Structure 1
């Protein structure tokens, strides 16, 4: 079964190093929480809010062993007025035997406000 694993994080400023580091951290946590390897990944879609343009977040994949062959696409998030700023979102599509309710979506930093229902659900799964 192919399942989507969602993740999101924020950065404090539009700076290349910060974007790459935040994306790498998020990718690693998504993999850790859902127990998958790069060869289980069908593809990854990464979006950033329009206030971020200092780097391609896909560059973070090159820092993680095994990710060099994973297809990835970057796009700009829909600029809805009042939405969370400085935000990086990831949709990682993986092959897994897990049920949909077993997938642990990862929200870091200010992105926890995007899906507080999933953050609370994930915390109770971790206990």
Structure 2
């Protein structure tokens, strides 16, 4: 079965080090909380809000040992008035036997506001 693992974070500024660092922090937490092995991952889709242009957040995945061959793509989120800004979202497609309710979706920093129900569930 392929499952989606969601994650999101926010950055404090549109800066290369900030974008890559916060994305790496998010990815490492998603991997750790779900015991994900790179070989079991189909692909990773990373989106950013329009105000984040300093770096491709996918570069963060390349800093993690063993993740060199996992396909990853960056896209831009649609601009909805009043939506969260300076946000990086991740959708990781993972082959696993876990049930939907067992997946630990990770929301960090200002992105906790996107799914407070899931953030509270796993703290």
1:112 shift after superposition? 0.3
What's the TM-score once normalised by structure 2's chain length?
0.98
| 2:87 corresponds to 1:87 | yes
* 1:26-105 equivalent positions in 2, closer than 5 A: 26-105=26-105
Number of corresponding residues: 123
1:117 shift after superposition? 1.1
Greater helix percent: which structure?
1
CA distances 1:73-125 after superposition (whole Å, capped 9, x unpaired): 100001101100100000001011110000000000000000011112223xx
Q: What SS does structure 1 have at the residue aligned with 2:122? A: helix
Match of 2:113 in 1: 113
Match of 1:5 in 2: 5
For 1:39 and 1:75, locate their aligned partners in 2 and report how far apart those are by CA, in whole Å.
Answer: 23
What's the TM-score once normalised by structure 1's chain length?
0.95
Q: Which runs of at least 4 in structure 1 moved beyond 2 Å after TM superposition?
A: none
1:24 shift after superposition? 0.5
1:32 shift after superposition? 0.4
Q: What SS does structure 2 have at the residue aligned with 1:67? A: coil
Unaligned runs of 5+ in 1: none
For 2:117 and 2:75, locate their aligned partners in 1 and report how far apart those are by CA, in whole Å.
Answer: 26
Cα RMSD of the aligned pairs, angstroms, is 0.6
Unaligned runs of 5+ in 2: none
